[in-house]
């Protein structure tokens, strides 16, 4: 099925930004440190108008973020290679979001709630299947909330076929080679395999949401 | 098939770093700009002991990088969710690389060669199927080379099942839910579809490398 050409475009609507954020699980978190940018990949989840990230209390970049250093969080989805009739016109389909701001470090009940939200985003339904975190485990985990502020985010997307020019070679195939990300077949731990434990219901529901 | 547990680990060997880099196409490029980090997603390709990135001459973060501002390039592959018997022990399998350095902006033949290399990394075999770039197209494209310097890169990976603790609930399924990235079914442009142009040989070879 041929695809329709849509332009590369900036997304101006929070609904579109949130769709980009909600389609991913991993981001880069960057802070300036002198004349360098310090960058670490993080798992994240959107919670309303904020982004939650967590990590070990020992992680350097997260500690700078927790101390109030401005952060830049970037999420990118590479959706396909766009094969045009020249390399110059060739491109990529993608969705990306950049959110800047200052994180708030969460404590107490707010941290517990945020870890629960983040867990549900990353492993939906799992928290009901496993024991609660212990106090020393909460203490070892840093949870940060990055508010999504007007004027402090950008999002872009390209979802289109190639550009054509009048003098393109008409015999060259042009189009899009999609890149797909999907969940694979669950692999049990040695213990779960040895005991014959059935696959977690939360994973069954995640893999087959329509059943 | 049960998986064996391997620890999360830092990769110290360039061969391992290069494998992480060569498995991806998109990175984030970050520069410090005052107290902020400015971040942009970029397509990249490794060329020997360097990383090539390119973009429009109008792109702000790339212009700072071209002007000699230190950059931090980050590549992340999220490979799976690790379901342990508690959320605290749960984790992610991933491979990541962070390379810091100062970019060199390439001109003339070096820029032409670098764009060719980058094109071959992103769309193998395509350059032989399409016309060469034109002088004004080269002029509109900025190509940067980031050398990979000893002591200025880190790479990490986790590829393992969950940790177990003695008091884990033995009835809880634990294991890994893999995340897979793959190339999809090519979608012809309207023009290629209307003309019945056969799929480019370079894409056939890319999708079926063993044929």
Render pLDDT for B91-122 as a digit per residue (tens, 0 to 9).
999 999 999 999 999 999 999 999 999 999 99
Contact B46, B146 (CB under 8 A): no
| Residues of chain A positioned with their CB less than 8 A from the CB of B43 | 92
Nearest residue on chain B to A98, alpha-carbon basis: B39
Confidence of residue B5 (pLDDT cuts 50, 70, 90): very low
Nearest residue on chain B to A3, alpha-carbon basis: B189
d(CA A131, CA A137): 12
Q: What are phi and psi of B19, to 5 degrees?
A: -65, -40
Specify the higher pLDDT residue, A3 or A102. Answer: A102
CATH (one of 1.10.3720.10, 1.10.1520.10, 2.60.200.20, 2.30.110.10) for B9-182: 2.30.110.10
Look at residue B8 in the predicted model and tell me its pLDDT.
74
In chain B, the largest separation of any two C-alpha atoms, in whole Å, equals: 68
Nearest residue on chain A to B200, alpha-carbon basis: A173
- The pLDDT tens digits of the residues spanning B119-161 come to 999 999 999 999 998 998 888 889 999 999 999 999 999 999 9
Least confident of A164-178, B20-34, B38-52: A164-178
A32 at B interface, C-beta within 8 A: yes
Least confident of A75-79, A87-91, A206-210, B163-167: B163-167
Confidence of residue A56 (pLDDT cuts 50, 70, 90): confident
Distance to chain B for A76, nearest Cα, Å: 7
Per the CB < 8 Å rule, is A35 touching B38? Answer: no
**Region B174-179 average pLDDT:** 98
Per the CB < 8 Å rule, is A87 touching B115? Answer: yes
Per the CB < 8 Å rule, is B189 touching A174? Answer: yes
Chosen from B117, B128, B173, B194 to mutate, greatest number of chain A CBs within 10 A: B173
Write the ipTM.
0.94
A92 at B interface, C-beta within 8 A: yes
B43 at A interface, C-beta within 8 A: yes
Distance to chain A for B13, nearest Cα, Å: 20
Half-sphere exposure of A45 (CA within 13 A, CB side): 16
Look at residue A11 in the predicted model and tell me its pLDDT.
94
Per the CB < 8 Å rule, is B133 touching A87? Answer: yes
Domain residue spans in chain A?
9-182
Chosen from B26, B88, B135, B186 to mutate, greatest number of chain A CBs within 10 A: B88
Q: Select from A146, A144, A58 the least CA-distant residue to A105.
A: A144
For chain A, counts of helices (H) and of strands (E): 6, 11
What is the per-residue DSSP string for chain B? -PPPP---EEE-SHHHHHHHHHT-SEEEEEEEETTEEEEEEEEEEEETTEEEEEEETT-HHHHHHHTT--EEEEEEEEEEEEE-SBTTT-EEEEEEEEEEE--EE--HHHHHHHHHHHHHHHSTTGGGTSBPPPHHHHHTEEEEEEE--TTSEEEEEE-------TTS-TTS--EEEEEEEEE---EE-HHHHHHTPPPPHHHHHHH-TT-
d(CA A161, CA A11): 19
Confidence of residue A182 (pLDDT cuts 50, 70, 90): very high
Percent of chain A clearing pLDDT 90 (strictly above):
83
Rounded (5°) CA angle B8-B13-B18 = 95
Look at residue A7 in the predicted model and tell me its pLDDT.
56
- The pLDDT tens digits of the residues spanning A96-153 come to 999 999 999 999 999 999 999 999 999 999 999 999 989 988 888 899 999 999 999 9
Confidence of residue A166 (pLDDT cuts 50, 70, 90): confident
B163 at A interface, C-beta within 8 A: no
Nearest residue on chain A to B193, alpha-carbon basis: A2
Contact B47, B138 (CB under 8 A): no
d(CA B23, CA B149): 20
Does residue B4 register a pLDDT over 60? no
Q: Select from B180, B105, B162 the least CA-distant residue to B138.
A: B105
Confidence of residue A1 (pLDDT cuts 50, 70, 90): very low
A101 at B interface, C-beta within 8 A: no
- The pLDDT tens digits of the residues spanning B32-58 come to 999 999 999 999 999 999 999 998 776
SS3 A71: strand
Look at residue B140 in the predicted model and tell me its pLDDT.
86
Q: What is the average pLDDT score of chain B? A: 93
Across the interface, of B78, B127, B184, the residue whose CB is closest to A178 is B184
Look at residue B61 in the predicted model and tell me its pLDDT.
92
Per the CB < 8 Å rule, is B172 touching A197? Answer: yes
Give the pairing type, strands B9-11 and B153-158: antiparallel
| Residues of chain B positioned with their CB less than 8 A from the CB of A179 | 25, 181-184
A69 at B interface, C-beta within 8 A: yes
Contacts of A50 (CB under 8 A, 6+ apart): A145, A146, A147, A148
Confidence of residue B7 (pLDDT cuts 50, 70, 90): low
Per the CB < 8 Å rule, is A41 touching B130? Answer: no
Look at residue A122 in the predicted model and tell me its pLDDT.
97
A97 at B interface, C-beta within 8 A: no
């Amino acid at each position: 099925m041929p695809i329709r050409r849509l332009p590369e475009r900036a997304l101006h609507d929070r609904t579109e930004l949130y769709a980009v954020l909600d389609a991913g699980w991993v981001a880069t978190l960057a802070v300036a440190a002198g004349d360098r940018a310090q960058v670490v990949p993080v798992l994240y989840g959107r919670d309303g108008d904020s982004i939650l990230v967590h990590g070990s209390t020992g992680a350097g970049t997260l500690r700078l973020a927790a101390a109030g250093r401005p952060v830049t969080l970037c999420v990118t989805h590479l959706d396909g290679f766009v094969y045009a009739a020249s390399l110059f016109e060739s491109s990529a389909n993608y969705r990306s979001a950049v959110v800047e701001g200052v994180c708030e470090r969460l404590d107490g009940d707010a941290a517990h709630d945020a870890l629960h939200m983040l867990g549900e985003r990353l492993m939906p339904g799992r928290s009901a299947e496993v024991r609660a975190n212990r106090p020393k485990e909460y203490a070892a985990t840093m949870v940060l909330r990055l508010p999504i502020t007007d004027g402090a985010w950008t999002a872009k997307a390209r979802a289109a076929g190639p550009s054509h020019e009048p003098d393109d070679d008409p015999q060259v195939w042009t189009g899009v080679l999609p890149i797909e990300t999907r969940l694979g077949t669950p692999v049990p731990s040695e213990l779960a395999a040895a005991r014959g434990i059935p696959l977690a219901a939360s994973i069954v529901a995640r893999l087959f949401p329509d059943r």
